Structure 1
Amino acid sequence: MSTFAKLSAQTKQNLGVLFTAGLLFWASLASLLPTLPLYVKSIGAPDSQLGIVMASFAIGLLLFRPQAGKMADQQGRKIVLLIGISAATIAPVCHLLTQSIPILMIVRAFHGISIAAFTTAYSSLVVDIAPPDNRGELIGYMSLVNPIGMALGPAIGGYLQEFTSYAPVFVLSSILGMISMTCAMFVKAPPLQHQQQNQASDKLFWRLLLTDRIRIPTVTMLLVGVAFGAIATFVPLHIKEANVGLNSGLFYTAAAVTSFMTRFVSGKASDRYGRGRFITAGLLSYAISLIVLALANSAPLFLLAGALEGVGGGTFLPIMIALVADRCQPYERGRIFGLFVGGFDVGIALAGPILGSVASAIGYRGLYAVAAVVAFSALIVFMTLSSKSVAHSFRFALGYGKDLYAIPKDELLIKA
């Protein structure tokens, strides 16, 4: 926590307000995790349609993510942050207005705008503020909003639904979004840097995906997105079918607790020992968690799978953000984050319909076996292609080589 001690009182206050807004945002979204699949199932949707409805969330992500990145660079991070929280506030109540599968797909797509906008703006704001030497540490601390929100939201939403009905859960999600919005109003975003560079490079936006420094992180995020989609969509149904008497919200709480513990130390460690070994460890933990899910037949095994998934996500996601931040200039940060995290969105979009069909054909255990193969594929891609050669990729992935694509600190463009 020594990094915070070096910051000014105004900066610490600004980060505190941003952290609170982020915590409430993720609690709002996460409160629906154990409820929404059951709600869609309760109105008569089979697994194939359930997967399509849940994956529609990613449509909003995919369509708005590039625009969110561009807006964050050209018009400011705060406006994009507010757009994301607004969508998270409005969408939950809209679920109660219809039981039509096509309309629910539209609502889910609109809800997807929330993460596209919020995560792009939030990550960019944190990196804008973070000192380069302590970037991983500060990103790790500020990314704690995700596991804490993911711990509180599902537990509250799951128990509320269990003792009442679906409607109070959706209302709670909207209320949390409103409070998050209030906090976000007080966030003071740093001035934008080199806006003229943004305009000059608009035509090159999609070419960023072809560059070595961005392509492999994006592909890795895509594969992890498929695995995450399987966890976010089908775990409550898997637990219910296994008849183990476990509140599915506790699975996500277990994941959030270990994710919290991991993020608290992994960011600072990656500043000292390099990003590669921590990304590798996170991917391995993610893959093992999916194997445990495929084999789980008791409450302790489901909770173990959740804990391993939390370790994987808590290590992989913030360190991958730090890795990409190391590889880009401030003026292109919003767009690169939008593109790179867009890989995760595509993975989620593919997970619903594809894995929904897999579940219909071979069941939930088979589904998670397939998802485990996808996660191991992400690990192989990163370990062999993350640097300029296979040999150096292995060294970097195991922590024995530097990131050859990282921009030296003395070459970063700083606003005069």
Structure 2
Amino acid sequence: MNVFVTLEPSLRRNLGALFVAGLCFWAGLAGLLPALPLYIEQFGANGQQIGLVMASFAIGLLTMRPLMARWTDEQGRKPVLVIGLLAIAIAPLLYWLVPFFPQITWDLSWGDHLWRIRSPIVLMIIFRAFHGLSIASFVTAYSALVADLAPPNQRGELIGYMSLVNPMGMAVGPALGGYLQAASGFTQVFVWMTVLGVIGLVCTVTIAEPKRAVATVGRRTAFWSLLLLPAVRIPALMLLLVGLAFGGLATFIPLYARESNFALNIGLIYTASAIASFGIRLLVGRASDRYGRGPFITLGLMFYTVAMVALWLAQSESAVLLAAAAQGMGGGMLIPMVAALMADRSTSTDRGLMFGLCLTGFDVGIALAGPVMGHIADLSSYRDIFGIAAVMTLLGLIIFVTTSSKDMDHSIQFALRGGKDVYAVSNSTL
């Protein structure tokens, strides 16, 4: 971590506060994962309805990501960070309030079909959609701010280290949430996740943003028009397919473990993933500055595919934990390397837009994963979700290896052997 020694003390303090805020954000978000599907189920929800509620998180993501990405460039990184942490702090309290509302059931019929809609499920969808504002805001602004601070020739290393908030939060949050739910019930889970959000807010208000060129309203770039650029389109498509796999994992792993009769604390699955993700991020960031982003993105997709296959075939608790570790290694390589890749391909005035649009692919994947994978689970089993997820990540791997650069030959070279990215912006324009 020698990169931090070269930074000014004030900059290190800002990075320290930002790191703690990020840790609280991910722990507060991930701490709900072991408990929330079970909480939704107690309202009488089936697999598809649970998937629908969990996937409604992406409604907030998809609707607010363009606005938050633009505000990140125009209004600054810090205000958008605050919005994300406010959502983290408020959403658990909204979930906790659901049983206190009057419970109403509506029966809707269309031909021979009858749909029974319960008001708690509707409220959970609304509150889960609000919760999606958190990632739409925080992740875009966090990635952009870290990229602003990072020296160009050490960008991958610094992004890799600062991205450790994700696996650390994913290790602490689910373990804490799973323990609190088993020991004290859902109320304690919601209260402590709110506390983490408040701590993150306190840290964020102490951060001083560095001076940078600011995007002006009069020179706006249309958000969706950036998809016409292959530099953005291919990473976004790849993340869409990974989002399908991750969405299925995040939503249904507690139900999969119960269906398979695994005697396992669900939080340990997320913890195993997070520990592996933590370890790999310590290595790949600095290596990517030397060898290029492509090979590590390729390796991340390969590990993700292996992990989904392993979950599909797992017959023991140890096999599930090994699969979770493989998924953690895949995500630990893939996500920070895509962030570094988009930082290479953008300037400080459009970095929020570039990050935001690329991550929207991941959002769409998560949005589709809940209802689609939930329907598959209702027709077959929760186990088969991961077989489908493996197909999605394998397709993402094929797309990246063959189309990540200006033609197939350059793509294969970049994805497998590394080297210069033809879409990278010159350091002089950063």
Q: Give the TM bin, normalised by the shorter chain.
A: over 0.9
* Distance in structure 2 (CA, Å) of the matches to 1:367 and 1:205: 32
Summarize deviations over 1:334-393 as a string: whole Å, max 9, x none. Answer: 111111111110100000011110111111121110010001011011001100111111
SS at match of 2:349: helix
Output the CA distance in 2 between the equivalents of 1:408 and 1:206.
Answer: 24
Residue in 1 aligned with 2:85?
85
Output the amino acid matched with 2:220. Answer: S
**Distance across 2 between alignment mates of 1:232 and 1:46:** 17
**What's the counterpart of residue 11 of structure 1?**
11
CA RMSD, 1 decimal: 1.0
- Verify: 1:110 aligned to 2:110, yes or no: no
Distance across 2 between alignment mates of 1:199 and 1:143: 33
1:125-136 matches, within 5 Å, as 125-136=145-156
- Say if 2:235 is the partner of 1:232: no
What is the CA–CA distance in structure 2 between the aligned matches of 1:400 and 1:55, rounded to whole Å? 35
Q: Which residue of 1 aligns with 2:192?
A: 172
Q: Distance in 1 between matches of 2:11 and 2:297?
A: 29
- Does the alignment pair 1:122 with 2:145? no
Instruction: Write out per-residue CA displacement over residues 70-114 of structure 1, whole angstroms, 9 at most, x where no aligned residue.
Output: 101111110000000000000001101114101100000000000
State how far apart, in whole Å, the 1-side matches of 2:193 and 2:309 are.
31
- Are 2:300 and 1:282 equivalent residues in the alignment? yes
What CA deviation, in whole Å up to 9, does each residue of 1:157-214 have, x standing for no partner?
Answer: 1011111111110111101111111111101111241433x53133x33211111111
Q: Please state how far the C-alpha of 1:400 moved relative to its aligned partner.
A: 4.3
1:242 is displaced (CA, Å) by 1.0
Q: Secondary structure at the match of 1:7?
A: coil
Aligned residue in 1 for 2:25: 25
TM-score, structure 1 as length reference:
0.97
Amino acid at match of 1:396: F
1:201-253: per-residue Cα shift (whole Å, max 9, x none)? 33x33211111111001101111111100110001110111112001110000
Q: Within 5 Å, give how 1:188-267 maps onto structure 2.
A: 188-196=208-216, 199-202=218-221, 204-267=222-285
8 Å contact kept, 1:47–1:356: yes
Q: Distance in 2 between matches of 1:107 and 1:101?
A: 10
Between the aligned partners of 1:402 and 1:70, the Cα distance in structure 2 is: 29
SS in 1 for 2:136: helix
- Residues in 1 aligned to 2:10 and 2:417: alpha-carbon distance in whole angstroms: 36
AA matched with 2:194: S
Structure 1 gap ranges (5+): none
Letter in 1 for 2:27: A
The one of 376, 380, 396 equivalent to 1:358 is: 376
CA contact (8 A) 1:73 1:192 kept: no
* Cross-structure match for 1:370: 388
| Structure 2: tracts of 5 or more residues without a match | 100-119
- Most deviating of 248-257 and 161-170: 161-170
Identity of aligned residues (%): 52
Does residue 1:345 correspond to 2:373, yes or no?
A: no
What is the TM-score normalised by the length of structure 2? 0.94
Cα deviation, residue 267, structure 1: 0.5
Are the equivalent residues in 2 in contact too, given 1:74–1:192 (CA < 8 A)? no
Cα distance in 2 between the residues matched to 1:300 and 1:199: 56
Query: Does the 8 A contact of 2:293 with 2:337 survive in 1?
Result: yes
Give the match for residue 69 of structure 2.
69
CA distance, structure 2, for counterparts of residue 257 and residue 59 of structure 1: 30
Give the C-alpha shift of residue 401 in structure 1.
4.1
